[in-house]
Amino acid sequence: MAKLITVFGATGIQGGSVTNALLEDRDFKVRAVTRNASSDKAKALQAKGAEVVTADLDDPSTLGPALQVRIVSKI
């Protein structure tokens, strides 16, 4: 089972580099956090398999979806 890792600033220079490296490693499921999920960079990350989430660290009310834990049970 892949481990979920959340990367803030996923469309920036450093965050983008980290996100792309993690997407190459199948041990991780990547949640890419960006202020603009409709940007070309965000769409490219989504096409590579990232779950793109909109959030802004300057607006705490937007952080819920970025930090939400989803528990999936196998029955």
pLDDT per residue as tens, the chain (75 positions): 678 999 999 999 999 999 999 999 989 999 999 999 999 999 999 999 999 999 999 999 999 888 887 665 555
Q: Would 23 be classed as within a structural domain?
A: yes
> Which residue range(s) make up the domain with 24?
3-67
pLDDT attached to residue 72: 59
Domain membership flag for residue 26: yes
Q: 11 lies in a domain?
A: yes
* Count of structural domains within the chain: 1
- Give me the amino acid identity at 13: I
In CATH, what number is assigned to the domain containing residue 40? 3.40.50.720
Burial of 20 from C-beta contacts in 10 A (0-12 / 13-18 / 19+)? middle
- The pLDDT of residue 51: 95
Reported pTM = 0.85
